[in-house]
Amino acid sequence: SQQGEEDPQALSIQEGENATMNCSYKTSINNLQWYRQNSGRGLVHLILIRSNEREKHSGRLRVTLDTSKKSSSLLITASRAADTASYFCATDAVQGAQKLVFGQGTRLTINP
């Protein structure tokens, strides 16, 4: 079964608004990562949060982790058109033969 699941699958907001994406997972993890992918391109690492951390910031990004609920959220503040992309969470729980398991992603569209 899939480890990480993002919610919502798609999100469309106006430029300047904040965007929040959620990720839920099923088993215990060591860390959780967020990646970004522009259409048809490779994934770019955004942030890694360890299981003993609750919140982490990087520029306009804020990631929270709630291990009791097995969930994480990615907040992008003051969104820009250039933030339009797909965002994926990835967890390191061993699931079958996979070391790092990715969710299906949230497609974020920022309207100018």
**65 near another protein (CB under 8 A):** no
Q: Are 65 and 72 in contact (CB under 8 A)?
A: yes
CA-based torsion, 105, 33, 70, 72: positive or negative: negative
The residue whose two tokens read 């919140």 is 55
Give the separation between CA 100 and CA 31, rounded to whole angstroms.
10
Taking the complex as a whole, the smallest distance from the CB of residue 29 to another protein amounts, in Å, to 9
Question: Toward another protein, which CB reaches closer, 64 or 104?
Answer: 104
Question: If binding is defined by CB under 8 A, does position 81 make contact with another protein?
Answer: no
Peptide bond into 112 cis (omega under 30): no
* Closest distance of CB 33 from another protein, Å: 7
One symbol per residue from 15 to 44: x for binding another protein (CB under 8 A), - otherwise; what is it? ---------------xx-x-x----xxxxx
Identify whether the C-beta of residue 1 lies closer than 8 Å to the C-beta of residue 41.
no
Binding site for another protein (CB under 8 A): 2, 4, 30-31, 33, 35, 40-45, 48, 88, 90, 92, 96-105
